[in-house]
Structure 1
Amino acid sequence: MIRKVILVLICSVVSSCTNDNTVTNNTPEKLFYKGMDLSFQSELESYNLDYKDQNGNSINLLDYVTSKGTNLIRLRLWHTPENGHNSLEKVKLYALKIKASGADFLLDIHYSDTWADPGNQEPPNDWKGMSSTEIKNVLYRYTKQVVKELKDQGTTPAIVQIGNETNSGFLWNFGKVWNEFNNNWPFYVELSNECYKAIKEVDNNIKTMIHIAGVTDTKIFFEKVEENNGNYDIIGLSYYPQFHGKNLIEIQNNINLLASTFNKDILLTEVSYPFTLDWNDNANNFIGDESQILTEFPSTPNGQKRFLEWVIKVLKEIPDNKGIGFCYWAPDWVAFSGNETTSTKGSSWENQCLFDFDHNALPAIEIFTDN
């Protein structure tokens, strides 16, 4: 009798017991994100493009990819975009569709009126000429307003990025940490922390992410953030082999080092791979040569799929379950006949989409279901 009581107490404190007296772990499994950046959809939807499944049947893109296992949708936000795309209004409208699809939502705030990346971090025009104190205040208010409006309409993001590919800081020159601004880390982190505070004040359950491009030499960046008491929840990384390295062992080791050094979850926030080196429009593609890809994975539909399988394997092997997923960038940016910059004369990405030149889903879509 005493032995039975002891067993019951152990089970109630440590875990749960099944009917056959087996002790099982009650800790819920961490969600692994299989995401897509669909920031172009707000524009592309107006052209009624005929996306198709692998059998050539017409589909609704968002419904299809979520039915195949996509559980995270990323949207970029520009402050006052010249063409209206990626505005808060457009993001809010598409966020409602994401909510209805059942996927989680990743908000990518660029803190710019246009593309922000390591070589371009222009502040919104409305913020230029401000003092350091003014930029801190407006940054806090803007971030809080954006997140609150999304929460108020029932589309609270699961994750919010504090800037996009901020290797060189953001809001130049206020938060620049590059070249002559190499000693500006304290103020960059101060600005980033204002964003963190604003997000958490709206909803403490939202995870915040600092996102930089590349995998090698990233430890130095996050050491500087930590030295200056930076607040964030997730390390976000972009990995494009042509820019960020082709030694697969080194890539994996660097990702593992980041996770173990800073005890943070890792999200591969941007990743893609070509299914061909051919083209389907009149624009130069970002990838068009064998020298830009990995020898382990040819530029074929199956090579694209195998690359993503490798990505998932690397993430799932990060120690302590710190790899929380990936987000495929612009799987939908196909070439088509139209008049805008994303049309036949402007897509530089159609050979890296997850849809072929006839807009049929490629084999890589299967990894969203199988993993």
Structure 2
Amino acid sequence: MKNLKYILIAVASVFFTFAACSDDDNNKGGVEPPVYDMTGFAKGADVSWLTEMEKSGAKFYNTLGRETECMSLLRDLGMNSIRLRVWVNPTDGWCNKSDMLVKAWRANALGMRLLIDFHYSDTWADPGKQTKPVAWQSLSYDELKAAVAEHTTDVLTALKELNITPEWVQVGNETGDGMLWEDGRASTNMAQYAELNNAGYDAVKAVFPDAKVIVHLQSGDDNEMFRWMFDGLKDNGGKWDVIGMSLYPEPDTWEAMNTACLNNMADMISRYDTEVMLCEVGMSWDSPEESRDFLTDLITKCKAIANDKCLGIFYWEPQAYNGWNDYTLGAFDNSGKPTVALDAFK
């Protein structure tokens, strides 16, 4: 960990220079600096691409056209939380433990809250693929459970050694059919998926007992899938604290999808006496007004859910712009400025 600490010290001066620039803009003309609300309902973004984008030369600008460090900019736009994915051993190094720690340190320095998203893969884990890390592919099932626990413990212990405490931890990403296929494919062996999930859950609690563990599924408007999954986990002793959802509507479908998602949330809260969270949302970057309306409606109604059972909402990679990795659901325009979509977070 010593080498990582030296890296963090090396980037600190650059980071705080950008952060100070953001605050300076708010003080121009006698304007009072903003008061950042870092409690209550989580309003955040997954910015896991950020360091890779910066390395490629990507710049970010506030609405005045001034270059600004990205997380500081998002904080100024009303966000209070950051979500970061972790891959086990990615071939290019991005989103591995060390890369995640650099971004987590930056978020923590800004006072932002943190959600860590374990994919348990060397690359994307999502509804279409839940591929085991290369180093785990020959492991027995019992060894696989141990690997999940060891990896989770290792990453979270590294955060703890930097005095960074995540508020939430995802055990798997969009696990609508389980994870670590084929051993943990829920449709063929729900019991084994539940045990793999629990290996991660228990490891989180051993390092950070107060962190809330999220089981995150895609298609937050699909109540049938959510009932199938969480009935299956419950029947097999599966553990979770929060049910996480993704929601990616089209500009002309968001109203119906919001309604279905909110109905699903209400059912999950009632059926399992659980909290819920929108871990990923997004809409096409070139429909900013529709995206703003979608987000405003969703945030307003999620915050109104009784007993604060909806914990928050995270936009997925809003800072991606100008065709970055062919992703088109960000919330920045091609000049590197945030669109009006993010006004919903103010």
TM-score (norm 1): 0.78
Q: Report the Cα offset of residue 232 of structure 1.
A: 1.2
The DSSP-based 3-state class of the residue aligned with 1:165 is: coil
Aligned to 2:283: 273
Larger displacement relative to structure 2 (74-83 or 44-53): 44-53
More helix by share: 2
Per the alignment, residue 361 of structure 1 pairs with 338
Q: Indicate how the Cα distance of structure 1 residues 84 and 247 shifts in structure 2: closer, same or farther if over 3 A, else same.
A: closer
Q: Could you tell me how far 1:185 is from its partner in structure 2?
A: 1.1
Q: Which SS does the other structure have where 2:217 is aligned?
A: strand
For 1:309-341, what per-residue CA distance to the aligned partner results, in whole angstroms no more than 9, with x for missing partners?
Answer: 0111231232332111100001011127xxxxx
Amino acid at match of 2:261: I
Residue by residue over 1:280-310, the C-alpha shift from the partner in whole angstroms, topping out at 9 and shown as x without a partner, is: xxxxxxxxxxxxxxxxxxx3x2222111101
* Greater Cα shift, 257-266 or 157-166: 257-266
Matched residue SS, 1:146:
helix
Find out whether 1:213 has 2:222 as its counterpart: no
Helix, strand or coil at the partner of 2:155: helix
Which stretches of structure 1, 4 residues or longer, exceed 4 Å deviation after superposition?
Answer: none
Q: SS at 1:254's partner residue?
A: helix
Any conservation in 2 of the 1:150–1:156 contact (CA below 8 Å)? yes
- How far did 1:213 drift? 0.3
- Partner of residue 251, structure 1: 261
| TM superposition shift of 1:30 | 7.1
Q: How does 1:50-89 map to 2 (within 5 A)?
A: 50-89=59-98
| Whole-angstrom CA distance in 2 between matches of 1:141 and 1:361 | 39
Change (3 A) 1:249 1:95: closer
2:252 is aligned with 1:232: no
Shift of 1:247: 4.4
What fraction of aligned residue pairs are identical, expressed as a percent? 32
**How large is the RMSD of aligned CA atoms in angstroms?**
1.9
The 3-state SS of whatever aligns with 2:326 is: coil
Which residue of structure 1 lines up, in the alignment, with residue 5 of structure 2? none
1:129 Cα offset (Å)? 1.5
Residue 158 of structure 1: CA displacement?
Answer: 1.2
Q: Provide, for residues 32-71 of structure 1, a one-character-per-residue CA deviation record: whole Å limited to 9, x for no partner.
A: 0001000000101113423111222221111111122211
**Contact 2:213–2:241 (8 Å) recurs in 1:** yes
Provide the residue aligned with 1:348 in structure 2.
327
How far, CA to CA, are the matches of 1:172 and 1:221 in structure 2? Answer: 16
Q: Secondary structure at the match of 1:241?
A: coil
Match of 2:298, as an amino acid?
A: V
Residue 193 of structure 1 corresponds to: 198
Unaligned runs of at least 5 residues, structure 1: 1-28, 277-298, 337-341
In the alignment, is residue 172 of structure 1 matched against residue 151 of structure 2? no
Aligned residue type for 2:236: N
Q: How far did 1:146 drift?
A: 1.1
CA distance in 2, matches of 1:363, 1:80: 37
Q: Which has the larger radius of gyration?
A: 1
Matches within 5 A, 1:29-40: 31-40=40-49
Show the counterpart of 2:297: 310
Question: Is 2:209 aligned against 1:204?
Answer: yes
Q: Quote the Cα distance in structure 2 between the aligned partners of 1:314 and 1:225.
A: 28
Assess, with a 3 A threshold, how the Cα gap between structure 1 residues 129 and 275 changes in structure 2: closer, same or farther: closer
Other structure's SS at 1:106 match: strand
Question: Which moved further from structure 2: 66-75 or 159-168?
Answer: 66-75
CA pair 251-206 structure 1, distance change in 2 beyond 3 A: closer
CA contact 1:169–1:177 (8 Å) conserved in 2 = yes
1:62-100 residue CA offsets vs partner (Å, 9 max, x unmatched) = 111112221110111110101111111100111110110
Aligned length: 304
Query: Quick one: which of 97, 108, 117 aligns to 1:99?
Result: 108
TM-score by length of 2: 0.83
Contact 1:256-1:319 at 8 Å conserved across structures: no
CA contact (8 A) 1:260 1:319 kept: no
Counterparts of 2:120 and 2:259 in 1: how far apart (Å)?
Answer: 34
Pick aligned residue for 1:322 from 289, 309, 331: 309
